[in-house]
Chain A
Amino acid sequence: MFGHKDIRFIKSLVRLNSSTPKEFVNRNPRNLERMRIGRKPDGYHLDKPGRKFWHKLAITASNRTVTAQVLHYINGPVIEAKTSEWALQKQLYSIVDTCAYINLGRVLAQRCLECGIYEMYCDLKPLEGSKVEKFLKEFENGGIKLQEPDVYKNPHPWDQYRPEKPWEVTEE
């Protein structure tokens, strides 16, 4: 949908006397999303909500299998886990029962951590005590945050406040 073309960084004026050039380009297509300055597909206010995300969690259940996917707004499914794949089915009693959901959550969380996607949007509203709720609980216990940060908006000089720049926050 939207291309990330403008990934230039201008060196701040203080360091102009260094030998490196003024402009630097980071080609990493996921960089702007991580730095919170990439675009989200916004503008569908009159549509059913659920389009404004970089990564989104989706679960599809059928009679034979349960599929959990992480979707990207351009690239589609990027991380997948199914209860019917041999890695899970080998140790499960049934591939559609509650335990299947719980273990699917654990496996998908592990895969997300390995792929460096730690935060994602989730619009699932499970009923209390349902299988999906247990899946989400295990998924969050696995270390994934089910909320995506908002896009950082660069303040105009005449704006009232200056929000904190996400890339300047470093933990010591």
Chain B
Amino acid sequence: MLHTIFRAFQISPTQVQQLRLGHTIRGKAPTKSRTIRERIDELNYKDEIYTTRIDIGFAAERKSNSRQEQIDHIKKMKNDKQLEQLARNHQLVIDLEESKKVWLETLGPHHKKQIADHYGVFEHLYGEGFFTPHLNLEIFYDVKDLCIPVYTGNVIKPSEAIQPPVVSYKSDADSLWTLVLTSLDGHLTEHNKEYVHWLVANIPGGDVDKGDVMIDYLQPFPLKGTGYHRYAFVLYKQDNKISYELPKVLTSSLEGRTFVTRDWYKTHQEVITPAGLAFFQTSWDLSVRDFFHNILQEKEPIYEYDFPEPYIRKQEWFPLRRPFNLYMDKYRDPKEVKKEYLLWKLKNEDPFKSPEPPLKFPNAQPLPKSMPSWLKLHEKKLRLQWGRVNDV
């Protein structure tokens, strides 16, 4: 009797909580457990030191108070009988170009910053730095009377960007500018570095042709199979004339083009300030192959996404109720299995004859009666092009 009382005193508080044994199997009680959102946020939590960002750009220009003008304009619109008629008949269509012009002066820069963050442009250009592109950078590629503009993340094919684009922006005649085009994802060997595709320094006013070309324009070359690469144009305002201590690259080779914008900006941050931003995405097309063969004189690399290997559980001595041939195939060397199928395929082919037409009703062809059922199924799969036959 004494013994049991002694035991009762020793029960720890955690043990007392676990009285509802049926529920503990499914995790903690709803009041105690966290939601999936909370758990994911906890996993992705980063300390303030790593998430603090620094604004390296210009502050917004202070505009004269135009609120009164806006109110007057709205009043004028409300009194416009013709406009009211249009609005009531659902025919009022606004001018998109005019609307965009106003947007660029008001909310445009902030929206551009938002989307650039979404594409991780600032993170990969400056690390913790960012800027609001208050200066509108108008860039377009001129391809056979077709003008392909660069905005913020639109897709442009590499064949459309072979020639350098036309760049324009608003500026004073006596100001100096630097224009840089870098590929954020394109580096062939070091993935945290960039290639600089174009660097024009000391541009007087808005005339890019009069600037010093430090690094000549090179067309974008997104590799086959690696998806969409970002290419970012950044316009910096200079305080005075600078000779960037960079080796000049005036040929279209990749030597000397390896670049880290963050380090470059760090050395010159006293005299340059980023003001304008435009970037585009691009994916492989045939012009990339021509670029590798004709300009780099190299074999074109081709990549494929590295999917995780499928999970295959440990092999059993006696796999009950499993088809033995399919089961064993999973544990064989995949190369060997593929070779078997390839040999089967080549066996029926004759280089001097045209291939036989495919069977019209493949399942209606009789199989010998003495054939075991697993082999019949295997034969049917070959005829219907199901499963592993597709791998060769």
Contacts and interface: CB of A to CB of B under 8 A. Distances in A.
A15 B302 contact: yes
Nearest to B99: A87
A78 interface: yes
Contacts of B155: 116
B304 A9 contact: yes
A58 interface: no
Contacts of A115: 115, 151-154
Given A11-B301, A85-B106, A86-B106, A93 B83 contact: yes
Interface string B75-105: 0011010011011001111111011101100
Given A19-B298, A87-B100, A115-B154, A31 B227 contact: yes
A115 B388 CA distance: 41
Majority secondary structure of chain B interface residues (helix, strand, loop or mixed): mixed
A28 B106 contact: no
Contacts of B188: 20-21, 24
A11 B223 CA distance: 11
Nearest to A142: B96
Nearest to B307: A154
A114 B226 CA distance: 23
B6 interface: no
A12 B304 contact: yes
Contacts of B185: 26-28, 31
Contacts of B280: 116
Nearest to A12: B304
Interface in B33-87: 40, 44, 70, 73-74, 77-78, 80, 83-84, 86-87
Interface string B150-174: 0111110000000000000000000
A78 B118 CA distance: 7
Given A9-B225, A30-B228, A158-B330, A114 B154 contact: yes
Interface string A16-35: 01111101111111111011
Interface string B192-222: 1000000000000000000000000000000
Interface string B314-339: 00000000000010011000100100
A1 B35 CA distance: 13
A135 to B, nearest CB: 12
Contact of A99 (B87, B107, B118, B154): B87
B284 interface: yes
Nearest to B301: A20
A97 interface: yes
B98 A158 contact: no
A79 interface: yes
Interface residues of B, number: 78
B178 interface: no
B390 interface: yes
Nearest to B95: A91
A21 to B, nearest CB: 6
A2 B188 CA distance: 27
B257 to A, nearest CB: 15
Contact of B184 (A23, A28, A88, A93): A28
A116 B282 CA distance: 11
Given A162-B390, A170-B284, A170-B285, A28 B119 contact: yes
- For the complex of A and B, 3 pairs with smallest distance between CB atoms: A25-B191, A116-B153, A93-B87
Given A9-B226, A28-B120, 10 more contacts: A15-B302, A18-B299, A21-B189, A29-B118, A35-B227, A93-B84, A116-B280, A117-B153, A134-B90, A158-B330
20 contacts: A8-B306, A11-B303, A18-B300, A27-B191, A28-B228, A35-B227, A35-B228, A37-B305, A80-B114, A86-B106, A87-B99, A87-B106, A87-B107, A99-B91, A107-B94, A110-B100, A114-B153, A116-B153, A158-B329, A160-B386
Interface of B: 40, 44, 70, 73-74, 77-78, 80, 83-84, 86-87, 90-96, 98-100, 102-103, 106-107, 111, 114-115, 117-120, 124, 151-155, 184-185, 188-189, 191-192, 223, 225-230, 280-281, 284-285, 298-308, 310, 326, 329-330, 334, 337, 386-388, 390-391
Interface of A: 1-3, 6, 8-12, 14-15, 17-21, 23-32, 34-35, 37, 72, 75, 77-80, 85-94, 97-99, 102-103, 106-107, 110-111, 113-117, 134, 154, 156-162, 167, 170
